[in-house]
Amino acid sequence: MYPDSGKFDGLFEKGQRKQGKYTYASGDTFDGSFKNNLRSGYGVYTYMKGQSFKGIYVDDKKEFGVFKYLNGDEYTGSLKDNKPDGFGVMRLASGEVIEGMWLNGQPDWKIASGDLSFNAISDTSETYAPESNLEKGATPRMFAVVVGIADYQGSSSDLNFSDDDARVFYNHLRKAFPRETAAGEVTLLVDSKATKSAILSAINNSFSKASEGDFIIFFFSGHGGKGSFVPYDLTSNSLTHQEVKSAFKNSSAKYRLCIADACFSGSVGNGNTVVSNYDAAQELRDARLAVLLSSNNEQTSMELGQLGQGLFSYWLMNGLRGAADLNKDKYVTAGELFVYTRNAVVQQSGGRQSPVVIGQQLDKIPLCKLK
């Protein structure tokens, strides 16, 4: 019991609150974890008036989760200073769903899901500008490792289009960012070249060369498991998500992006729409990493013969060809690409595959500039 009439019931460690339920003098409650007596990690905050928040706290502030309002609206996404900030989805009580980037509690740009169209863009020969730096006189370098595995060691686990997905994405980076990739380094590893040791060597060596103003990208298309990506030598090795995160975390690059088209790839964040495991979410935050994943952690990622690609990769590339420029500013950012790709995949799969996004600065990561 505290002098201000607050009450804590739970586990203490070395005199400090660690895990339990705190009841405030106002009647509000927080049930979750603490660090240095501050809310830190996963928790549920219930307001006396009826609102609630479930998600991740960092230094006593809401970081990522679901906030339910008194009027029935529900916000799912990133927060800063206890306000929506970053990528988020607002589901209104009326049934309308708004997705986009939020800034200081207000929509920065938004798109109604029902307003999106998903017509394929096939001719891309004139799509890209010859230069793609965002700031005049600034040419950041791009370091990327692109992996696609269809022909696995042995034959029982083969896929159809994962190697093609990787080649298409690799060619996109080289074409959309000619100066950035020429100044940096883009590595393509497909099929037998994509062993665990080769992938780890490539991401560690390449990402370590990046400086603060540069971009680093890891693209993976292939099999995935709970907590891992599956390299070519699947019988003896697995590429854990933690190993990939470590390569990002050890880099000096300011902008970091991971794109994965793999079954169960959503478990890279150990969560579904809402991250439910604090340790995994904190690792992502520490790595300052934005992640676009083809499915949540309970789903498989589809391949469709009529498309000649994985469902996620097909609509991802269609978005990069210009369809995902939702605010019509001639740039496709990671945030816009996710909004476009997720809605297309959910629609085309009948809800059986739902891409996931985790991370900050999605609106600040450009993936192409359009003419």
The predicted-structure confidence for 291-333, as pLDDT tens digits, reads as follows: 777 766 555 556 555 556 677 778 888 888 788 887 777 778 8
Q: What's the pLDDT score for residue 263?
A: 62
Least Cα distance to 76 among 53, 58, 109 occurs for: 53
Domain assignment present for residue 129? The answer is no
pLDDT of 10 reads 96
pLDDT of residue 278: 39
Tell whether 57 and 178 lie within a shared domain.
Answer: no
Same domain for 241 and 181? Answer: yes
- Same structural domain, 161 and 96: no
Point out the domain boundary residue: 77, 105, 133: 105
- What per-residue confidence (pLDDT) applies to 305? 54
pLDDT at 270: 46
For residues 31 and 168, state if they share a domain. Answer: no
- Whether 249 maps to a domain, the answer reads yes
Spatial separation of the C-alpha atoms in residues 31 and 225, rounded to whole Å = 31
* Ranges of the chain with pLDDT below 70: 100, 108-138, 155, 226, 235-236, 263-288, 295-309, 357-364, 371
In degrees rounded to 5, what are phi and psi of residue 350? 65, 30
Q: Is 112 within 8 Å of 97 (Cβ atoms)?
A: yes
Q: Does one domain contain both 45 and 155? A: no
What are the tokens at 282?
């904190």
Split into its structural domains, the chain has a count of 2
Q: How far apart are CA 184 and CA 178, in angstroms?
A: 10
**Is 57 part of any domain?**
yes
CB 241 within 8 A of CB 227: yes
Q: Among all chains, which residue has been given the structure tokens 């600065």?
A: 361
- Do 184 and 252 fall within a single domain? yes
Residue 150 and residue 33 share a domain: no
Tokens 């040419």 belong to 139
Tell me the C-alpha distance between 236 and 332, whole Å: 39
What CATH number is associated with residue 342?
Answer: 3.40.50.1460
Same domain, 176 and 28: no
Question: What residues make up the domain containing 25?
Answer: 7-105
Tell me, yes or no, whether 101 and 165 share the same domain.
no
Same domain, 225 and 281: yes
Residue 36's pLDDT is: 92
pLDDT tens profile 60-117 = 988 778 899 999 999 887 788 778 877 777 888 998 877 767 778 877 655 544 445 5
> 205 and 340: one domain?
yes
Q: Choose the final residue of a domain: 86, 105, 124.
A: 105
Residue 333 counted as domain residue: yes
Is the residue at 125 inside a domain? Answer: no
Q: Are 181 and 175 in contact (CB under 8 A)?
A: no
> What residues contact residue 126 under an 8 Å CB cut-off, 6+ apart?
371
In a domain, 161, yes or no: yes
Q: What is the CATH number of the domain that holds 18?
A: 2.20.110.10
User: Per the domain annotation, does 196 fall within a domain?
Assistant: yes
On whether both 92 and 210 belong to a single domain, the answer is no
Q: Taking all residues of the chain, what is their mean pLDDT, rounded to a whole number? A: 77
